[in-house]
Amino acid sequence: MAKIKKINHVAIAVEDIDEALQFWRDALGLPLDHIEDVPSQKSMVAFLPAGDGEIELVKPTAEGTGVAKFLAKNGPGMHHLCFEVDDIEEMLASLKEKDVRLINEAPLVLEGRKMAFVHPKSAGGVLVELYELD
């Protein structure tokens, strides 16, 4: 049976990464590892390690994306919680058997990881991402 290994990251939707860094890096003292353009997700992401996980500040780079819609509706704030799992295909199959609504029924394959999202309607309003790292 697939297992959750840890919380990989908490993603925060932001309109301006530099402005958001004033709190997360400058006030809280979290180190900025790097900022990355993620074309597949149409976003820029700042990675700030925090213990065994990360805070990811996510800024959309295109209109109409999930993060852009989230910002337009809610403003900046927590976008999703990401769990690292040991076997994403098995985890998705198990969730589907339990009638959990999935956004991605098969994982998306990106460099260094596979990922999929669970619909917030099945998770008490929380968008959940699953990661399996290579």
Q: Does residue 44 form part of some domain?
A: yes
**Is there a contact between 3 and 75 (Cβ–Cβ < 8 Å)?**
no
Give the pairing type, strands 53-60 and 4-13. parallel
CATH number of 19's domain: 3.10.180.10
For position 111, what pLDDT does the model report?
84
Q: Does residue 118 form part of some domain?
A: yes
pLDDT in tens, 53-100: 999 999 999 999 999 999 999 999 999 999 999 999 999 999 999 999
Tally of CB atoms within 10 A around 75:
10
Q: Does residue 103 form part of some domain?
A: yes
Q: Does residue 126 form part of some domain?
A: yes
Question: How many structural domains is the chain composed of?
Answer: 1
| pTM of structure | 0.92
Q: Does residue 1 form part of some domain?
A: no
Residue 109 belongs to domain spanning = 9-133
3-state secondary structure 44-79: EEEEEEECCEEEEEEEECCCCCHHHHHHHHHCCEEE
For position 37, what pLDDT does the model report?
94
Sheet harboring 34-38: ordered strands across?
34-38, 43-50, 53-60, 4-13, 77-85, 128-133, 113-118, 108-110
Q: Give the whole-angstrom CA distance, residue 17 versus residue 27.
A: 14
pLDDT in tens, 9-50: 999 999 999 999 999 999 999 999 999 998 988 999 999 999
Tokens encoding 42: 């149409």
Q: Does residue 42 form part of some domain?
A: yes
Q: Give the whole-angstrom CA distance, residue 122 versus residue 77.
A: 20
Q: Does residue 3 form part of some domain?
A: no
